Structures are given as C-alpha cells and as structure tokens.
Amino acid sequence: MAEIKHIKTISEFHRTRLLDPPEHPLISVFDYAKVDMLPELRGMSWMFDFYLITLKKNFNAKIKYGQQAYDFDEGVMFFIAPGQVFSIDHNTGIPEDKSGWMLLVHPDFLWNTPLAKGIKRYEYFSYSINEALFVSGKEEQILMNVVDNIRIECHANIDSYSQNIIISQVETLLNYSERFYNRQFLTREKANHNILEGLERVLDQYFEQQDLINKGLPTVTFLGQELNISPKYLSNLLRIVTGRSAQQHIHEKLLNKAKSQLGNTNLSVGEIAYALGFEHPQSFSKFFKSKTQISPLEFRSLFPAN
C-alpha cells in the first residue's frame, strides 16, 4: 500500500507543489500549469485537511470513467473533500501544454456560513478519482469565469465583503458542477450502458448463490465494489438515468426472483424466503405484498398448473 502523505494546511500543499506561498492561509486559487512535484512524492497516496477542486487539461495521468478509459481534450475535474485518501497514477514525463486551475478551500474559511453545512449536499465530493467530471469547452469557459472572480477577490485587499463574495462564487462553481455531472450521467451512453449491464449481471450472480440466508441482501456498497465505482456515484447515476435508486433495483431483482420461484417451483413460501436471504417468512411476505399488493400464496394461485 502506498504511503499516505497527510497535508494539513494550504501553505504545506503549496510547498509540496513547488508553488509560492498562498496570499491567504485558508483559500488559494492558481494555475495548474505552475504546479510541479518533487519526484520522491510521486506514487504516494494523499489526504488533505481542506477541499480541493481542480480542472486540468492535458492531464498526464491514468484517468478512468467507471470501467472505461477515455482520452479527452476537454477539462477533467476532480473534487476532493477533507479526510479523503486518494491517489493518481501519473504517467512518465510532464506535458508542456498542461493547463487548468486548482482551488483550495479550508473548512475554516466557510465557518459560520450556510455553505459550511450546505457543502455536504454536493455528493460528488464522495465520488472516487475514477469518476471524474469531463466538461466541454463551453462548460469549461463558464467555470473559468467563476474561478476568475474568485481569483480577483483572493488577490485583492481583503475587506469585510471578501468572504461573502468568495463563498457565493464557490457555491456558484459547485452548482454548475452539479449540473454538469447530471449532464454527464445522461450523455455518457456507452459507459452508462456497461454499468447497467454490469449491475444486472452482479445481481443475477448474487441471487443465484445458495447461502443467501447467511449473506443477506446485497448492499449498494457491495454493488459499487463489484462495479469498481463508488456507491454514491452508482446511486446518482441510476437515479438520473433510470429514475430508480440502487435499492429499488435490488428490490426489483429480488421480486422477480421471488415471482419466478413462486410460479415455477413447488417450494414453500418459507423455503423461498430463506433461499432469498430473509430470516423470517413473515418478512418476505410483507416485502412481497408491499410490492405487488397481494401475498405470495395469492400470487402462486395465479398459476394453478404449478
């Protein structure tokens, strides 16, 4: 396992990236083209005590979207929250034409503002590095305009209005990013199709197991691990693309499996319940009726030949 480098302050981050000291200890915005790194720090895992939002072009590293690799000329955005451990697999060499920006915001800068709590609603901070946001040239310009406003305020003389102005611009940046992530869920048709196919395959294999009474129902965390994407990313993708949550997909697969066994086997309701991972037949019957409005036995009666 790679060594984890814990960076506690924005000033320390600047030192590890060979940047000049920040003008403000709690917030910094700078050009990605100016960022460098000591060779001995490459290959490490990282953990920051502050938020990092960055857009990079010609990013010389291995980037994946879900389980597929992409080459993009457009910007690639990452969102890292305090306390998250992450790593990036850099390729050899540093591209001469790399560009973009990086924004660092310490939680103390947000203290006693609505965004201090509100920032938690932006779930893409919980996505993994494999689930980056790819923005078009038009979207990139929109984000750049907002970042320029933040940069101007950060480089100006700080006054009593500065914090509120900067925070409002940060919130605008986050809202645009949320919009663009929703667009990405809808437009990455091939990647989304592969994820949905993978989800069906994983659920089919899971419910074919013989010891579900010990394993219980699959969790969203389990599904994310099997599909190599974060649980939150999976949940949000399904919600945007299919209109259903990951939990609803699990229940639908479970219900179809139950219907198949009720209609095509002579197993008792209790045997079917245990085979599907329910500890008690009553729990299975309650689940089945909540989904179909009839009991398992009533459903079975619809198939008199069985």
pLDDT in tens, 146-201: 999 999 998 877 777 888 999 999 999 999 999 999 999 988 877 788 889 999 99
CATH number for the segment(s) 190-300: 1.10.10.60
* Contact criterion met (CB below 8 Å) for 135 and 146: no
C-beta separation of 26 from 108 below 8 A: yes
Question: CA 273, CA 297: separation in Å to the nearest integer?
Answer: 12
Interatomic CA distance for residues 207 and 196, integer angstroms: 17
Average the pLDDT over each of 95-99, 120-124, 180-184, 241-245 and give the range with the smallest value.
95-99
Please report, as a single letter, which amino acid is at residue 222: F
pLDDT of residue 71: 46
d(CA 17, CA 282): 60
Question: Residue 109 in contact with residue 29, Cβ under 8 Å?
Answer: no
User: Does residue 220 sit in helix, strand or coil?
Assistant: helix
Gap between the Cα atoms of 221 and 204, Å rounded: 17
Q: Enumerate the domain spans of the chain.
A: 4-187, 190-300
Whose CA is closest to 172, among 70, 227, 103?
Answer: 103
Cβ pair 288, 258 in contact under 8 A = yes
What CATH fold (topology level) applies to the domain 4-187?
Jelly Rolls (2.60.120)
| More confident of the two residues 227 and 72 | 227
SS3 content of the chain, % helix, strand, coil (to 5): 50, 15, 35
pLDDT band at 91; cut points 50, 70, 90? low
pLDDT at 72 (0 to 100): 47
Interatomic CA distance for residues 74 and 175, integer angstroms: 19
pLDDT of residue 213: 78
How many CB atoms neighbour CB 302 within 10 A? 11
Burial pattern 13-29, b for ≥16 Cβ within 10 A else e, equals bbebbebeebebebbbb
Residue ranges in the chain assigned as alpha helix (H)? 10-16, 114-118, 137-155, 162-187, 189-207, 212-215, 220-227, 231-242, 246-264, 269-275, 281-292, 296-300
| Average pLDDT of span 18-27 | 92
Structure token pair of residue 279: 């500890």
SS3 (DSSP) at 263 = helix
Longest dimension (CA), the chain: 83
